[in-house]
Structure 1
Amino acid sequence: MDQNNMLEVRDLHVSFQTYNGEVQAVRGVTFDVKKGETVAIVGESGCGKSVTSQSLMRLIPQPPGQIKSGEIWFDGKDLTQVAEKDMEKIRGKDIAMIFQDPMTSLNPTMTVGKQIMEGLIKHQNMGKDQARERALEMLRLVGIPSPESRIHQYPHQFSGGMRQRAMIAIALACAPKLLIADEPTTALDVTIQAQILELMNDLKEKLETSIILITHDLGVVADVADRVVVMYAGKVIETGTVEEIFYRPRHPYTWGLMGSMPRLDLEQEKELTPILGTPPDLLSPPKGCPFAARCKHAMKVCQQEMPETTEVDSETHKVNCWLEHPMAPAVEPPAEVVGGGSK
């Protein structure tokens, strides 16, 4: 494991057994996260983002889920081989997660304060009084008003946005080495969203916390991420720095994501261009490029064989696309995509 990396995921395969057969939700995912770095995982719903993130914490219910193969290296350990009792020591302390739906993630029978204190008492060996002071501090940090009274309230007494902030307070309380944020700002208005993103950035700088950000919001990605991992149909199809993905995207699917995003930096309004078609059925995934059926640049080889990973521009920018092959026809991305939409 590279000493500069906080996390290394290597050829991860995760499947779910259903009545109809095996759903191959994650198919050979490989990426890494450096210390103090924010990596955003983007893609359509159902592309495998959340399954990948939950696999990192070994939260996939088994059965029906199963990590079939691959390695997840964190802090010198392969988490796929760690015993469950040891994973319990890592979850919440070294790796924390902000879940997508706070209403189903919070315990309705416990006060919000107790839920923040629980991890502090378990992982930081704090007494109740010390844990309560830390819980109050976290509630203030995430912008919850009147924390002295709110600490005694239950999740149903919080609004949707406040529940999301409470989830973030629980995740950040133990100052984890790796924070996985699954759509952390979905239920928040833009003012609180900006505060939460600033809080996550502060944590990253002060404590060298690494962050995996899972989101549909490319505006959030541009604001906080260092690198981007683009997923489609359970596979990583393009990775690069924010500048490389936003200004020099190379995969037609990435072009589609950029083209379907509303922009404020264009002189005249442009019509949003949806990505036509639907993702493939992962009960029987295609043997070639998973995007071939929806790609207007698809060639015969795209249907038959998955393209290898190609380095473009730099060693940080990689893409899996047959258009990068020397014998492929020259195809330029749409004008509104090149240069971050500045053309």
Structure 2
Amino acid sequence: MEKVLEVKDLHISFDVYGGEVQAVRGVSFDLYKGETLAIVGESGSGKSVTSKALMRLLPMPPARIKQGQILLEGRDLTKLSEKEMQRVRGAEISMIFQDPMTALNPTMTIGKQITEVLLKHQQMSKAEAKARAIELLDLVGIKEPALRFKQYPHQLSGGMRQRIVIAIALACNPKVLIADEPTTALDVTIQAQILELIKDIQKKTGTSIIFITHDLGVVANVADRVAVMYAGKIVEKGTVDEIFYNPKHPYTWGLLASMPSLEHGDEELYSIPGTPPDLLNPPKGDAFAPRNAYALKIDYEMEPPMFQVSDTHYAATWLLHPNAPKVEPPKVVRERMKKFEALTKDRGGEKR
């Protein structure tokens, strides 16, 4: 498969009054043409900081990229000037933000907000930009696109506003589309529609997508591969099938166990004990150890390397060391694994 984006050993810090917050600590991943990579984890795990770094949208200062590379088709975005990045943003890599009301300008019509992207990056005439904008509104499922073109954001529902944000992001046929929790501000019914829309658009355009979320239920429906982040690091990565019915890291087990399920009725919802570490002073060893019921002595002394589970599956946990005790995932996680495997079989064994 053709590699579109490579992130290599990315370190990002924020210089604050109390010291240096090490928000991203050595993140590496690849993104291939036409695939969806989901980056999952709790709030504060470094997902959104990583995604904004790809677009060079972090305020510098206080943020700084300490080391690492962000290679878009071989070109290192960390080395580009702001003027050069302005030509990349929107044209080659674009983003769907969480809250469509804050992503859209309330003083500008929908049409103007879409056409300004086209006029800047595509050198179209105003008439061509308008025609293309109406096409995009139709593509994202907006009824009466010519009418909506003239309206303002406050005249549209939340779901329609998110469709507009998607249309703006897609305006220049970007190679990479970053979706930063694009359904968080929407109700469940509209969430499902937006997820279906993103999948449908990807089939039509072949765009590579990075999907940022804390919701593993969303991941199961949209992703080809998954990277699980904790305390600024990727602790497990693999195909969606590997992460869901063969997870290896205790943090991934915790995320799977925390997924609500209608089948469990009145059972108390599981939550991972404790809180994420303070990245002003990252802990020694495995950052997840204090919250990990299966932590070994070495977890408090030495950071685990990435152990290879398969050609596509890696996890940073000492439980995968040949000398480690054999530990099974908790019962609730095993039940989720079986359920996901059954759903895969129901799809006729279809692999993502």
TM-score (norm 1): 0.94
1:109 maps to 2:107:
yes
2:285 equivalent among 285, 288, 291: 288
CA distance in 1, matches of 2:47, 2:68: 16
CA distance in 1, matches of 2:206, 2:162: 23
Q: Which residue does 2:334 correspond to in 1?
A: 338
1:134 to partner: Cα distance: 1.6
1:321 maps to 2:317:
yes
1:241 maps to 2:239:
yes
1:176 maps to 2:160:
no
Partner-residue secondary structure (3-state), 1:22: strand
Q: Which residue does 1:185 correspond to in 2?
A: 183
CA distance in 2, matches of 1:260, 1:192: 23
CA distance in 2, matches of 1:184, 1:57: 16
Q: Which residue does 2:40 correspond to in 1?
A: 42
1:113 to partner: Cα distance: 1.1
Q: Are the counterparts in 1 of residues 98 and 185 from structure 2 also a CA contact under 8 Å?
A: no
CA distance in 2, matches of 1:226, 1:340: 18
Amino acid at match of 2:301: Q
Q: Which residue does 2:306 correspond to in 1?
A: 309
1:207 maps to 2:211:
no
Amino acid at match of 1:277: G
1:107 to partner: Cα distance: 1.9
CA distance in 1, matches of 2:264, 2:120: 55
1:282 to partner: Cα distance: 0.6
The C-alpha deviation readout for 1:304-332, integer Å capped at 9, x for no partner, is 111000001x1111000011111211111
Q: Are the counterparts in 2 of residues 161 and 187 from structure 1 also a CA contact under 8 Å?
A: no
1:205 to partner: Cα distance: 2.5
1:268 to partner: Cα distance: 7.0
2:272 equivalent among 271, 275, 283: 275
1:270 to partner: Cα distance: 4.6
1:340 to partner: Cα distance: 3.3
* Aligned pairs, number: 339
Partner-residue secondary structure (3-state), 2:332: coil
Q: Are the counterparts in 2 of residues 142 and 195 from structure 1 also a CA contact under 8 Å?
A: no
Q: Which residue does 2:6 correspond to in 1?
A: 8
1:132 to partner: Cα distance: 1.1
CA distance in 1, matches of 2:193, 2:292: 38
1:20 to partner: Cα distance: 1.0
CA distance in 2, matches of 1:317, 1:338: 18
Which has the larger displacement, 138-147 or 162-171?
138-147
Q: Are the counterparts in 1 of residues 245 and 338 from structure 2 also a CA contact under 8 Å?
A: no
* C-alpha RMSD of matched pairs (Å): 1.8
1:88 maps to 2:86:
yes
**CA pair 267-154 structure 1, distance change in 2 beyond 3 A:** closer
The C-alpha deviation readout for 1:213-259, integer Å capped at 9, x for no partner, is 00122222111100000000101000010000000100111000000
Q: Which residue does 1:297 correspond to in 2?
A: 294
Q: Are the counterparts in 2 of residues 142 and 196 from structure 1 also a CA contact under 8 Å?
A: no
The C-alpha deviation readout for 1:152-189, integer Å capped at 9, x for no partner, is 22223333332222111110121111000001122334
1:143 equivalent among 141, 162, 165: 141
In structure 2, stretches of 5+ residues that fail to align are 340-352
1:273 to partner: Cα distance: 0.9
Partner-residue secondary structure (3-state), 2:172: coil
1:7 to partner: Cα distance: 0.6
Q: Are the counterparts in 2 of residues 248 and 339 from structure 1 also a CA contact under 8 Å?
A: no
Partner-residue secondary structure (3-state), 1:330: coil
CA distance in 1, matches of 2:102, 2:203: 31
The C-alpha deviation readout for 1:59-115, integer Å capped at 9, x for no partner, is 111011111100111112011112222211111011010011222222222212111
CA distance in 2, matches of 1:339, 1:243: 15
Partner-residue secondary structure (3-state), 1:342: helix
1:207 to partner: Cα distance: 2.8
CA distance in 2, matches of 1:268, 1:111: 46
CA distance in 1, matches of 2:111, 2:265: 49
Partner-residue secondary structure (3-state), 2:116: helix
Partner-residue secondary structure (3-state), 1:336: helix
CA distance in 2, matches of 1:221, 1:295: 23
Partner-residue secondary structure (3-state), 1:103: helix
In structure 1, stretches of 5+ residues that fail to align are none
Partner-residue secondary structure (3-state), 1:337: helix
1:21 to partner: Cα distance: 1.0
